[in-house]
Amino acid sequence: MTSVKVEIRNEAAILTINRPEQRNAINYEVMDQLMAAIDKAESDPNVKYLVVTGSGDKVFCSGGDVRAFKELYTEEQAYTMLRKMGDVLDRLFFCQKPTVALLNGHAVGGGLELAIACDFRIAKKNIQVGFIQGSIGLTTGWGGSTYALTRMNHGEAMKMLMSADRYSDQEALANGCLTYVTTHASFQDDAYQYIENLLKRSPLILSTYKSYWLTSLDQNLIRDRVEKEIRSCAILWATEEHHHAVATFLNKSGRR
């Protein structure tokens, strides 16, 4: 089964993480397929913008796949994995075309890092989001803190990061984490109507405005900050606190 499905619809490239039984968790295959899909969509002149979403109706992305990464114990092992997904989020954040995270369900941990790397976050009502990494002995490790502090009010971003709490859709809309929360019974219809109206102008108009935003950033500084974030997370990954949290999760889920 393809881990990332790609569909071109109304001039948009829809990238769907297709692992519903694993709560759309990220493994190495997802990383590779996301990177390839982003590259292809950005270079396709028939694509105006990218949408990243998840399969099913419960979870957008639950972050890293604990089972896939449970054998990573050392700082060096963790860094290799974190850097690989960090490169995917870098590609998404600096994409020359507008990007949208379409949250079909909860987005926690690395799932919210993936979402915050996108320009816009459109969410189904009654979902929860949160940088919950602190609850398992980690910080964000794919660049999420840097992207949150770039896109959001610093104070609000720091609250989300430091608390490691889950936020309701309305709380996340109010603090600037989310762009729009659907209100209609049909989530897909409402979400795509909003997205298509937001990004209805020509590809040249959209990419030009995106380039203006990108040139307003110190891209080297952002990449340096992300690298420090990944390095710091790799150090925490090797601690007993994190290994204990992983073991507890695997025991509870019966997935040893």
Output the pLDDT for position 253: 74
Confidence of residue 255 (pLDDT cuts 50, 70, 90): very low
Which pair of tokens denotes residue 76? Answer: 């060096």
182: which 2 tokens? 């659907």
Cα–Cα distance between 66 and 41 in angstroms, integer? 29
Q: Mean per-residue pLDDT for 148-161?
A: 98
Tell me if 224 is assigned to some domain.
Answer: no
Note every long-range contact of 193-201, with CB atoms under 8 Å and residues 24 or more positions apart, other chains counting: 194/122, 195/12, 195/49, 195/51, 195/100, 195/102, 195/120, 195/122, 196/10, 196/12, 198/120, 199/12, 199/48, 199/49, 199/98, 199/100
pLDDT per residue as tens digits for the range 97-127: 999 999 999 999 999 999 999 999 999 999 9
**Burial status of residue 186 (CB atoms within 10 A of its CB: 0-12, 13-18, 19 or more):** exposed
- 54 occurs within a structural domain: yes
pLDDT value of residue 249: 81
CB 5 within 8 A of CB 24: no
For residue 191, being part of any structural domain is answered with no
Q: Which alpha helices (DSSP H) does the chain contain, by range? A: 28-43, 66-69, 75-93, 110-116, 144-151, 154-163, 169-174, 187-198, 203-215, 219-237, 240-253
Tokens of 52: 């990243």
- Residue 228 in any domain: the answer is no
pLDDT tens digit sequence for 181-237: 999 879 999 999 999 999 999 999 999 999 999 999 999 999 999 999 999 999 999
What's the confidence (pLDDT) of residue 256?
A: 41
CATH of the domain at 141: 3.90.226.10
Q: What is the pLDDT of residue 254?
A: 61
pLDDT confidence band for 27 (50 / 70 / 90): very high
At residue 161, the pLDDT reads 98
* Residue of 247 and 152 predicted with greater confidence: 152
- The answer to the question of residue 190 being in a domain is no
pLDDT at residue 1 tops 80: no
**Neighbouring C-alpha atoms within 13 Å toward the C-beta of 169:** 17
What is the pLDDT at residue 121?
A: 98
- Domain-embedded: residue 131: yes
pLDDT in tens, 33-67: 999 999 999 999 999 999 999 999 999 999 999 99
Arithmetic mean of pLDDT, 82-88: 98
Residue 42 lies in a domain: yes
User: Residues 50, 13: contact at Cβ < 8 Å?
Assistant: yes
Instruction: Please state the domain count of the chain.
Output: 1
Residue at 146 is within a domain = yes
The C-alpha atoms of residue 142 and residue 44 are separated, in whole angstroms, by: 26
Question: pLDDT tens across 87-98, in order?
Answer: 999 999 999 999
Q: What is the pTM of this model?
A: 0.96
Range of the domain at 174: 4-182
Check residue 252 and give its pLDDT.
Answer: 80
